[in-house]
């Protein structure tokens, strides 16, 4: 796939087919993330690829976040509440979860650089997944259960989970077409 086609084809997939993803494909997707630029070349990311029984156990922990969705209601609106509960209960039945973790920092400048670096790596990962014919969704996961997830995965206290990426073969349910803002670029000079 050509680069611009890959960028245009990338959507957040929220419904996955019951199909495995090979380790070779997953390795290529992770390698693309690993090659992202990072502030001071710190490469602050760690990717934990979870499948099979461990994926099921993590799903149970993540599903607990639905009890906190009432706190999220004002932002979602009542019509989207049921869909949110369904999504967080199953993560679209994605067969693979990629937990993205990074060192904890309380220094604002370090946090900014870390998060920008992580964003670049995750975008590379999402684009590589699309290029491999996979679907993915960078989940704004519930931070209410991040400590339980870290414990389940053996993540040390020096690191924290920053994002979860649900990944797999997209089902035949078409993704909603995202709204794209009009070009608001300001050209100076």
Residue-range domains of the chain with CATH: 8-168 (3.40.109.10)
- Note whether 89 and 141 are within 8 A (CB): no
What's the Rg (C-alpha) of the chain?
A: 17
CA distance 126 to 137: 8
- Note whether 14 and 168 are within 8 A (CB): no
Global confidence as pTM: 0.89
Three-state secondary-structure class, residue 104: coil
Give the HSE-up count for residue 183: Cα atoms under 13 Å, Cβ half-sphere: 3
- Note whether 186 and 151 are within 8 A (CB): no
**Residue 106 CB neighbours (<10 A):** 6
Residue range 176-181: average pLDDT? 76
CA distance 11 to 104: 29
pLDDT over 90 percentage in the chain: 64
Average pLDDT, the chain: 89
103-124 tens-digit pLDDT? 999 999 999 999 999 999 999 9
Give the HSE-up count for residue 136: Cα atoms under 13 Å, Cβ half-sphere: 29
147-170 tens-digit pLDDT? 899 999 999 999 999 999 999 999
pLDDT value at residue 172 = 86
- Note whether 117 and 162 are within 8 A (CB): no
Token code pair at residue 103: 């060192």
Token code pair at residue 48: 């934990």
- Long-range pairs, 22-28, Cβ under 8 A, ≥24: 25/132, 25/134, 26/96, 26/167, 28/128, 28/132
């Amino acid at each position: 796939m050509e680069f611009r086609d890959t960028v245009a084809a990338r959507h957040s997939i929220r419904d996955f087919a019951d199909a495995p993803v090979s380790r070779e494909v997953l390795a290529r997707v992770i390698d693309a993330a690993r090659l992202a630029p990072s502030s001071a070349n710190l490469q602050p990311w760690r990717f934990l690829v979870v499948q099979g029984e461990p994926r099921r156990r993590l799903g149970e922990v993540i599903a607990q976040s639905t009890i906190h969705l009432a706190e999220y209601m004002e932002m979602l609106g009542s019509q989207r509440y049921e869909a949110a509960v369904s999504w967080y209960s199953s993560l679209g039945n994605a067969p693979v979860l990629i937990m993205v973790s990074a060192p904890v920092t309380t220094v604002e400048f370090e946090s900014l650089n870390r998060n920008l670096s992580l964003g670049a790596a995750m975008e590379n990962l999402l684009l590589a997944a699309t290029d491999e014919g996979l679907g993915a969704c960078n989940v704004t996961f519930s931070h209410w259960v991040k400590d339980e997830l870290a414990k389940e995965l053996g993540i040390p206290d020096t690191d924290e989970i920053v994002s979860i990426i649900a990944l797999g073969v997209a089902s035949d349910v078409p993704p909603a077409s995202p709204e794209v803002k009009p070009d608001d670029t300001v050209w100076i000079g």
